[in-house]
Amino acid sequence: MSVDLVCADPAFLDLTFVGLDALPAPGEERHAEDLLRSPGGAATVAIGAARLGLVSALASPLGDDAEGAFVRAALVGEGVKLPPRTVARTPVTAVMPHDGERAMATFYPDEPATLADVASFAPRAVLTSLTRLDAVPDDTMAYVTAGDAEARALAGALLPERVRSTRALLVNAREARLLSGAEHVADAALSLAARAGRVVVTLGPGGALCATGGDVVQVEGVEVHDVVDTTGAGDLFAAAYIWSDLAGATPEDCLRWACLAAALSVRVPTAVAGAQTIEQLAAAGSERGLAIPGRTTT
């Protein structure tokens, strides 16, 4: 079976502290109502894509440790293909959601996916970050992300030349401003689109926009009451965007599906718990006039 999407960014074990009454200040201890373990990072994208019907794989190596064993078991349970290599340690993030936001602390041993790791899956598409484009095989469709650290490191610099041939650059508003130097998000997206082709910018509750050439398409966000945990919403946005784009949806409908998937995910603790199945997302989309891309109706 061919692989639709290979996720080549790091995967994490997320430790989520649920029900904090406040985020701890320096020297302060706060107690949580619960502690949950779940896959995070690129593992969230891979699981989100699998639940939407794509054959997905994780290329970034996991550790030969208890944390890695947990993440591998979760991926297997979701039908995600496992990375071909094992390393010593697995990245871990402590997540502290509170009042619609969250704080995080991360341990990340830098063990990135290689070109050989990704190519072993013969993927239709790859999701990776700006600094890991060398892991994408030639003539393979690439969707590119930029985390906050990457955006800060590349602020004021030219984007890698290979970005021009990628399918889309997926960033949030802060990352778009950092990478472009522009103050307004639409201007930032247009500036980046001159170098990256298609640029998708997430706007949190405000929705998302897509810039291609000199054109900008924007959609409104989906209202969510009682936000519990926003962790991984961007990852699930990416999974739904790629799923709908591979299915042939219009750029505007890709944004709508992705915004919907991200909004539905924040109602529960942990990103994976909020990842929608194709049936759940289709039902929510139907209520909003969205038809599953690639399907015909009678």
Is residue 105 classed as helix, strand or coil in its secondary structure? strand
| Spatial separation of the C-alpha atoms in residues 263 and 237, rounded to whole Å | 9
**140 φ, ψ to 5°?**
-115, 135
**pTM passes above 0.75:** yes
Amino acid residing at 84: P
Distance between CA atoms of residues 257 and 117, nearest Å: 30
Task: Please tell me the predicted confidence (pLDDT) of residue 13.
Answer: 97
Residue by residue, pLDDT tens for the chain (298 residues) are 689 999 999 999 999 999 998 999 999 999 999 999 999 999 999 999 999 999 999 999 999 999 999 999 999 999 999 999 999 999 999 999 988 788 999 999 989 999 999 999 999 999 999 999 999 999 999 999 998 889 999 998 888 899 999 999 999 999 999 999 999 999 999 999 999 989 999 999 999 999 998 999 999 999 998 899 999 999 999 999 999 999 999 999 999 999 999 999 999 999 999 999 999 999 999 999 999 997 644 3
Closest by Cα among 61, 13, 22, 65 to 41: 13
